């Protein structure tokens, strides 16, 4: 039995598979099993996987009828035998010592899950280290991350924001996932399957730890990625409902009441433009109609956009009003920024005048002293 189970769902990834699998199999940490679940690929992905399986006994290939990314992950997890679990995407890559550093951190801290930094990759460009997903070294300055844990209460911002949902940006203790087996199940044949899993893992973990290094290379140029698919936008409604259900069932609904409404408004509006349809707009309108916004403590920008939806007749009408709304916000921001800059210049000018005045006073005193002598 391996210590770490790496679970990799695969669908039409022939252009990335060799690089991705090699980045796992050449890891400095060798005690692993790599469970590859082919989700009925129509390209040569399955053949590539079987070739790796023949060459390396640590690779296990499972082929199944198409159930989506979530269904493939669920299948992989059922076959996982390791003490720790890592969900890996088949178009990405790991840095050579990634699994070793994850393992050392989770064992030294006895944590339920580990977070780490992610580099972004676009074909033909150098790796981008500017947006690491979890820049927790800035949040917890001066900490020894080999002996430091925290909970969701310390990093609440990272729970509901869409920039942090990816499960491949976390490393899990299997015992923790098994403890909440009815919760840690991915939705099948749907997009945005990471969202509920991520939120659940963050709020339920008794201890979270962090590796202050870049361990993962995220490929942003894969046009076959499910996140690039514009036809699956309606799935977000089910995802939002599942998050609300999660909070209710785990008793976190009151604590996250305001955060959830912000999350709901943001998520439903975020995909409005790429959905680009009255069908999507009408569904958002119906959902917003059920919200009494005055019952929640949310920023004005959320209230403003919520009201814009309810004041619009259709998607085209909303598109016109949201453009005006954003322009006014930008004008307001520019005015505020301009005012702040003006005040800053005034303050600097005042300080400069005082320094000149002080300098002149010293010169006069020196001149007076000379005349007296």
Please give the full DSSP string across 281-338, using - where no structure is assigned.
HHHHHHHHHT--GGGS---HHHHHHHHHHHH-SSHHHHHHHHHHHHHHHHHHHHHHHH
- Which of 165, 194, 17 lies closest to 92 in space, CA to CA? 17
Determine how many CB atoms are found less than 10 A away from the CB of residue 261.
20
pLDDT for res 1: 85
Neighbour-count burial for 295-325, b at 16+ CB within 10 Å, e otherwise: ebebeeebeebbebbeebeebeebeeebeeb
Rounded to a whole number, what is the largest CA-CA distance in the chain?
103
In 14-166 the beta strands, taken as DSSP E runs, fall at 32-38, 59-63, 84-87, 93-94, 113-121
pLDDT for res 161: 87
CA distances from 290 to 279, 285, 306 (A): 18, 9, 11
Structure token pair of residue 228: 């690039």
pLDDT for res 321: 86
Q: Report the sign of the C-alpha dihedral through residues 245, 246, 251, 254, in that order.
A: negative
pLDDT for res 334: 45
- Which of 261, 280, 283 lies closest to 271 in space, CA to CA? 280
For strands 113-121 and 170-173, give the pairing: antiparallel
Regions of the chain where pLDDT drops below 50: 225-228, 329, 332-339, 367, 371
Q: DSSP letter for 76, please.
A: H
Q: DSSP letter for 221, please.
A: -
Cα 30 to Cα 234: distance, rounded to the nearest angstrom: 41
Determine how many CB atoms are found less than 10 A away from the CB of residue 32.
21
The DSSP result for 326-360, as a single string, is HHHHHHHHHHHHHHHHHHHHHHHHHHHHHHHHHHH
pLDDT for res 323: 81
pLDDT for res 220: 87
Q: Rounded to two decimals, what is the model's pTM? A: 0.85
Q: Which residue has the tokens 């800053």?
A: 344
Q: CB–CB of 45/15 below 8 Å? A: no
């Amino acid at each position: 039995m391996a210590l770490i189970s790496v679970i990799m769902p695969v669908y039409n990834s022939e252009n990335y598979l060799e690089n991705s699998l090699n980045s796992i199999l050449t890891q400095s940490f060798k005690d692993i099993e790599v469970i590859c679940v082919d989700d009925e690929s129509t390209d040569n992905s399955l053949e590539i996987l079987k070739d790796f399986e023949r060459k390396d006994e640590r690779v296990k290939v499972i082929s199944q009828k198409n159930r989506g990314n979530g269904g493939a992950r669920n299948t992989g997890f059922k076959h996982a035998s390791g003490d720790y679990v890592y969900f890996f995407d088949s178009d990405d890559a790991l840095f050579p010592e990634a699994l070793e550093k994850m393992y050392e951190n989770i064992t030294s801290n006895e944590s339920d899950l580990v977070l780490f930094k992610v580099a972004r990759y676009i074909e033909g460009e150098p790796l981008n280290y500017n947006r690491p997903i979890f820049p927790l070294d800035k949040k917890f300055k001066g900490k020894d991350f080999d002996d430091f844990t925290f909970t969701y209460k310390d990093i609440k911002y990272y729970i509901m924001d869409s920039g942090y949902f990816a499960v491949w940006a976390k490393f899990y203790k299997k015992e923790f996932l098994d403890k909440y087996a009815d919760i840690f199940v991915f939705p099948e044949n749907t997009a945005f399957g990471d969202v509920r899993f991520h939120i659940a893992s963050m709020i339920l973990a008794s201890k979270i730890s962090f590796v202050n290094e870049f361990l993962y290379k995220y490929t942003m140029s894969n046009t076959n990625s499910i996140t690039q698919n514009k036809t699956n936008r309606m799935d977000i409604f089910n995802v939002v409902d599942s998050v609300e259900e999660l909070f209710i069932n785990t008793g976190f609904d009151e604590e996250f009441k305001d955060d959830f409404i912000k999350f709901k408004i943001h998520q439903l509006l975020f995909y409005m433009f790429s959905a680009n349809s009255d069908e999507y707009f009408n569904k958002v309108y119906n959902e917003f109609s059920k919200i009494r916004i005055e019952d929640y403590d949310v920023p004005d920008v959320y209230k403003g956009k919520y009201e814009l939806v309810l004041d619009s007749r259709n998607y085209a009408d909303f598109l016109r009003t949201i453009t005006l709304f954003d322009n006014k916000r930008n004008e307001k921001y520019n005015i505020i920024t301009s005012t702040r800059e003006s005040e800053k210049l005034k303050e600097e000018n005042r300080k400069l005048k005082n320094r000149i005045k002080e300098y002149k006073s010293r010169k006069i005193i020196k001149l007076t002293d000379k005349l007296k002598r």
